[in-house]
Amino acid sequence: MTKSFNELRKKMTPLAQKMVAEKTKQILEEMQLQELRQAYHMSQKRMAELLDTEQANISRIERRTDMYISTLRNYIEAMGGELEIVAHFPDGDVYINQFRDINKENKRKNNGFRTTPTAFPE
């Protein structure tokens, strides 16, 4: 007979329960772009439509380990999110706001229209 996870969790020590909760939180907080897109039930095709590009470009973006901040920001915003860049130091975190208005500035320069190079400058 199979048991539900809740039944098994009740038998765990409080320390084990805490460790499982922390590991679950860590897994949910750390995702690759492809996993994040899939978690939002969005296809590469739909993402490409939102970003006015080809599906193949979405695939390339998701495989990159290095990209422009504007590319990552566009990707995140297409899913309804907001990109924040945080530097972690032993004495505290610092939110880097230097890149916050990159897209607003680019859109203003282009009269509100996003061009392909702005969307994917790489």
The pLDDT tens digits for 10-60 are 888 999 889 888 887 887 778 899 999 998 899 999 999 999 999 999 999
Structure tokens at 14: 């409080």
The pLDDT tens digits for 94-103 are 999 887 765 5
Q: Which of 15, 2, 75 lies closest to 40, judged by CA?
A: 75
Q: Could you tell me which residue, 119 or 7, shows the higher pLDDT?
A: 7
Give the pLDDT confidence score for residue 122 in this predicted structure.
44
Write down the architecture of domain 31-119 according to CATH. Answer: Orthogonal Bundle (1.10)
DSSP 55: H
Structural domain boundaries in the chain: 1-30, 31-119
Cα angle 91-16-36, degrees, rounded to a multiple of 5: 65
Using a pLDDT cut of 70, give the percent of the chain over it: 80
